[in-house]
Amino acid sequence: MRALLTGLLVGAAVVAVLALGAWSLVERRAAAALDRRFDIPLETVRVPADSASMAEGERLGWLVGCHSCHGDSLEGKVFVDEPKVLRLVAPNVIDVARGYTDAELERLVRHGVRRDGRGVVAMPAATTYHLSDADVGRLIASLRAAPLVRRELPATELRAFGTMAAALGRIVPDAATIDHLGARLGDRGDTTRTARGEYLVRITCAECHGATLMGSATSPALAKAYGYSSAEFVSLLLDGRARDGRDLGLMRRTSQARFIRFTRDEIEAIYAWLQVMPVRPAAASAAAR
């Protein structure tokens, strides 16, 4: 009996050691995936100093979703907290910006890359990549001018299932999903109304509706808007209601927090482009590749 118990204990110890070794490998792979460096050269953009540009940059920050993750004053907040998966904490943007040069902020905004070269997780850089130089400059100007609001924040924490997901490549820095040499819609120089509409869709809608705008797990394809009249589309964009009056939940919350800041001309430009939108927009297809 004593020999049997000894054998069982030894066997359990061996299994435990093997399990610990396997988990250590998972943790190392997860860390390697999330600490990946990206060699993206710095680009210089002109950052304006006038109050109108700063105000426009703040409006743009709301439209592209900076405040949704980082808080109304960009003071940072916990925006994902899933037991056994992960806790993601968006940092205090104004505080972070103080340690970055303008060129480093451009790379962070457009490429999702920190000043040390590491990629950021859950930052929708695939959408903000398309921002024009002028809009990036305005956005940086607004960050430089914004007051610093202090807030105590916990640390981001990768938990068991999140660690496994990262090790398997299911959680990756957003920089890994971008064609960093691809053409940007904001650089085209096309000033037509439909081109303006496509640009606005790319920097505000692709985050939820997917890189090809064909929908995601939480949002439908933008082609759903084909059947909307102009008045119905205004209600969809500003109230988050379907053409039959249904409350669309996530769309309603996004509308109230962000899209109410669209101008009427911008809404008309978006609507105009949606009427001629190809099934797979060229810029979106390139981004997906």
pLDDT in tens, 106-115: 999 999 999 9
Domains, the chain, with CATH or none: 51-177 (1.10.760), 185-288 (1.10.760.10)
| pLDDT the model gives residue 245 | 87
Query: Whole-angstrom Cα distance, residue 50 to residue 56?
Result: 10
- 207: nearest Cα among 276, 118, 129, 120: 129
Neighbouring C-beta atoms of residue 80, cutoff 10 Å: 15
Q: Residue 247 pairs with which residues in a beta bridge?
A: 241
Q: List the one residue out of 71, 73, 133 whose CA is nearest residue 102.
A: 133
Among 149, 77, 137, which Cα is nearest to 109's? 137
Backbone angles phi, psi at 187, to 5 degrees: -100, 0
pLDDT at 21: 67
Residues 133 and 226: their CA atoms lie apart, in Å, by 31
For the whole model, what pTM was predicted?
0.85
pLDDT of the residue at 279: 60
Contacts of 39 (CB under 8 A, 6+ apart): 117
Per-residue pLDDT of 260-280, as tens digits, reads 999 999 999 999 998 888 765
Of 207, 262, 242, the closest CA to residue 62 belongs to 262
Which residues in the chain come in under a pLDDT of 50?
1-2, 4-18, 281-289
Is residue 190 within 8 A of residue 117, CB to CB? The reply is no
**Residues 33 and 172 sit within 8 Å (Cβ to Cβ):** yes
